Amino acid sequence: MSPAPILELREASFSYGTEVIFENLFLSVQLGEFHGIIGPNGAGKTTLLKVLAGILEPDQGTVSLFGRPIRDEPRMEVARKVAIVPQETGLNFGFSVFEVVLMGRFPHVGLLGLETDKDEAFAREALVRTGTEHLADRLFNELSGGERQLVVVARALAQNPRILLLDEPTASLDLRHQVDISRLLRGLCSEGLLTAVVVTHDVNFVTQHCTGATLFARGKVLSAGAPKDVVTPALLKDAFGVEVDLLVDPKTGAPVVVSRRAVKGGGS
């Protein structure tokens, strides 16, 4: 039914020393999808995202990017196709917002090159798309957490990737910034300009915005598919150890999860 996935994990296992993070994992993301990976805190979502980005190599199994093993491609080549937005970006040096966003051009400019007007245009465009152009001349480390997150997304967009991987992108954002970010990502994905993968513990973010979802807990994929199929009370109870009720968003029909009470000994 569906065409070949743009990003795929097959039979992948990863562990830090003796601590197994996941085993024999399958995951696939289609072109233009806005995919949410939901899981509880400490489930290894960040590790999973880094494996998908090719930053960490799985102990077993493969990550494929456009059908080719990611480990066979030079890092610079991967960086032209995949951008990653980490949960936290700290900076001890006084780079301006514009300079930080321009660093997104690194894989296109190369180690010894100089940024051209074209690179600066990409950076400006990314600032405009994320609504941060008024911050361009400010120092990055003087921004609020929410502004900083938007600028990091701009930095990733300046990288002009085909796939954007985001780690808890809305965790430090207020409602307004959450809406801005999710609308931006949804827009880019529906135009087919981008495929986005978000890892988050925020179930409602995924039901409201994502077009595909994976429920990930205890190192396993509990279910994958359309968000409404993945977010069932039984599955969420299994993943998070919480009894939930599902309401329905009257405008979109999307499920809204309301947690009721913790289940003894449940969750991961």
Partner 1 sequence: MKGKKGIRWVVGLSVLLVTVGVTCLFIGQESLDLGRALDSSIAPSENSDASILFRLRLPRILLAVLVGGGLSVAGCSFQALLRNSLATPFTLGVSGGASLGAVLAIYLGLEFTLLGLSTVPIFGIFGSIFSVLLIYMLARTGGRLPTVTLLLAGVTYNFFCSAVILFIHYLADPGQAHRMIYWLMGSLDVVGMSSVVNLLPIVLVTTVVLCLLARSFNVLTLGDDTALGLGVNVDRTRKISFVLASALTGSVIAASGPIVFIGLIVPHAMRLLLGPDHRTLLPASFLMGGVFLILCDTLARTMIPQGELPVGVLTGMCGGPFFIWLLRSRKREIVL
State which residue, 147 or 238, has the beta carbon closest to partner 1: 147
Task: Name residues whose C-beta falls within 8 Å of residue 240's C-beta, 6 or more positions apart in sequence.
Answer: 40, 217, 259, 266, 267
Would you count residue 114 as binding partner 1 (CB under 8 A)?
yes
With 0-12 CB in 10 A as exposed, 13-18 as middle and 19+ as buried, what is 228?
Answer: middle
Q: Residue from 40, 44, 104, 267 that binds partner 1 (CB under 8 A)? A: 104
Would you count residue 210 as binding partner 1 (CB under 8 A)?
no
> Which helix (H) or strand (E) covers residue 240, if one does?
helix 233-240
Q: Residue from 4, 91, 121, 193 that binds partner 1 (CB under 8 A)? A: 91
Residues 45-84 that bind partner 1 (CB under 8 A): 50, 53, 55, 74-80, 82-84
Task: Name residues whose C-beta falls within 8 Å of residue 185's C-beta, 6 or more positions apart in sequence.
Answer: 34, 164, 166, 194, 196, 198, 209
State which residue, 99 or 243, has the beta carbon closest to partner 1: 99
Task: Name residues whose C-beta falls within 8 Å of residue 115's C-beta, 6 or more positions apart in sequence.
Answer: 102, 105, 109
The least distance separating partner 1 from the CB of residue 167, rounded to whole angstroms, comes to 9
Would you count residue 122 as binding partner 1 (CB under 8 A)?
no
CA 200 to chain centre: 8
Q: Residue from 112, 137, 192, 251 that binds partner 1 (CB under 8 A)? A: 112
Would you count residue 160 as binding partner 1 (CB under 8 A)?
no
Q: φ and ψ at 138, to 5 degrees? A: -75, 160
Interface residues with partner 1 (CB under 8 A)? 16, 50, 53, 55, 74-80, 82-84, 86, 88-96, 99-100, 103-104, 106-107, 109, 111-114, 152, 155-156, 159
